[in-house]
Structure 1
Amino acid sequence: MRLVTFDPATATDRSWAELHALACAHLTAVAPDEPLPTEAELRRDFGPTSATVRLWNKALRSESGELVGFARLTVREGEDTGYLHALSIAADHRRAGHGRRLLAYAIDEARSAGCRNLIGWTAGPDGAAFLESVGARTTGRYRRALLRLPLTSPAPPLADGYRLRTWDGPAPDALIDSYAVAREAINDAPRDADEAPSRYTAERIREMEHRLAERGQHLRVTVALDCDDQVMGFTGLYVSPEPGSLVSTADAAVLAAHRGRGLAGALKHESLRLLADARPDVTEVCTGNDTRNGPMIAVNDRVGFVETSTWTQAILDL
């Protein structure tokens, strides 16, 4: 077996097709109700990222060149948590130690980047058994759900003293500072104590917008503004230009002082209603929530999302 770097910039069409087949086979095995990504969507996921994010993409190949496994790790500069976004082994090559080998390389890379722990996700009994065998500890469960457009649920009322505004692409200059503050409210969602909080500034948001544009995507954002035109809550959607593409929800949160007023539900419904109006070709939207986040799951259920799978989040202390 050979461990080789997978470089998205130089990968051949055959390499992309092999990786897409591996990813779809893995997802079908562990979460059969999940929509499968197209190859174009997979390629976009490997598009340009922030200069402050360290990437590690490794393919495990047999001596004949067959793709046996794949792993993908990201580490953000200044943070001590690494994220293992993929660890997949072809069905015919499982239970031969290849998953452990890929994980060992990812651990070495994470340690060299200064990480104290590594976070990953899995679904199904085989994944749970693997996590236990390598000493990872389960920290939470992640519920995936799918919504089919157009909406059939009624729009919830908007509380007095607020108005909703939506933009497509870069955040307006006049709102970006309060938007950055509101985005940090996502840190109030359930998380493991060892998981680093997400930090946002106007500069980081502009960088994220730029990277999304480079990848051919954009973020549709709907915010709740108070009477002083400050952002008190937000929700977002990652949208791709291809007709019929799958849309994914981005973060959604409301500042603590403004919770309990129905803002999350109003934001979600308005965001999805406007998406359906602007993109009638889009028929599916996927989302995910920590299973401990009951309030947001309830919001999504009221809008019309239906559960498709549950993933286990685990942390491996390094």
Structure 2
Amino acid sequence: MATFAPMKLIIFPITFLLLITIFQQSKAALDAHYYDQTCPQAEKIVSETVRNASIYDPKVPARILRMFFHDCFIRGCDASVLLDSTPQNQAEKDGPPNISLGAFYVIDDAKAKLEKACPHIVSCADVIALAARDVVVMSGGPYWNVLKGRKDGRVSKASETINLPAPTFNVTQLIQSFSNRGLSIKDMVALSGGHTLGFSHCSSFESRLRSFSSLHDIDPSMNLELARNLRNTCPKPNLDRNAGQFLDSTSSTFDNYYYKQLVVGRGVFGSDQSLFGDYRTRWIVGAFANDERLFFREFASSMVKLGSVGVIENGEVRVKCRVVK
């Protein structure tokens, strides 16, 4: 999956209840043809905007895909991740796991064009969902019909980003996090394949490189050659805040190489490598590593499912994605 930022697992009962409340909201009916009559050019506008931005900035595909994940995992797919903070409220994009999110300007650009073509019709939440599909396709991955008709939420709280899955999670923690959003173990492993695109800063994985435990200096599940390379990339002290590692050696191409790396212990995140170390997920990792077409089919199916998480009926269609209407 596009990369998740590090955090501590702190889920109090009230937080769990909040998640259950959020994701049991009434769901709006989504439809692949939702804008056929009201804004038939919507998909073309988003696709062209994303493609043009990616030509000038090769980081755009990974950033857009990660943005979609981080939006849907907090309050559902309602574009709450796009809202700017105000003097009265710190929004999701300023929560610790989201500080490294980027490419918001691409969504802003697409939305501005949509407002000219068909004012007050296409939600920001649908723009993110379409853009996420488009960056996967242009990177060599599968196509799927994006179901549309989401509304934009009015609430965005940085404090809720603590509920994003962390790169230090084990499989049990990952299963619980995805299950809270109605996603299965298969969905979790397939969506983790989004990490085939993207880059991570040292802070997300350096705990695996030094003083890992009382018995091991380096995480024993990590390939030693990779660990040595990462220790050189992320020295102590590290004065380069931009230092880090691509999560896949073919990081600009959407493929199944991410899973092949897990099989040989070359997963960068502890959470990623744990997928091959646990009997509940190991066989799925192996299947995706051996069959790219299978991975593509399952990823597309799981993206449709993720895109339906927490969809609301009582939202709005923002004119500008950064502010409540």
TM bucket, shorter chain: under 0.3
Q: Over alpha carbons, which structure has the higher Rg? A: 1
Between Structure 1 and Structure 2, the one with more strand by share is 1
TM-score (norm 1): 0.27
Flag the structure with more relative contact order, 1 or 2, with Cα contacts below 8 A and sequence separation at least 6.
2
Between Structure 1 and Structure 2, the one with more helix by share is 2
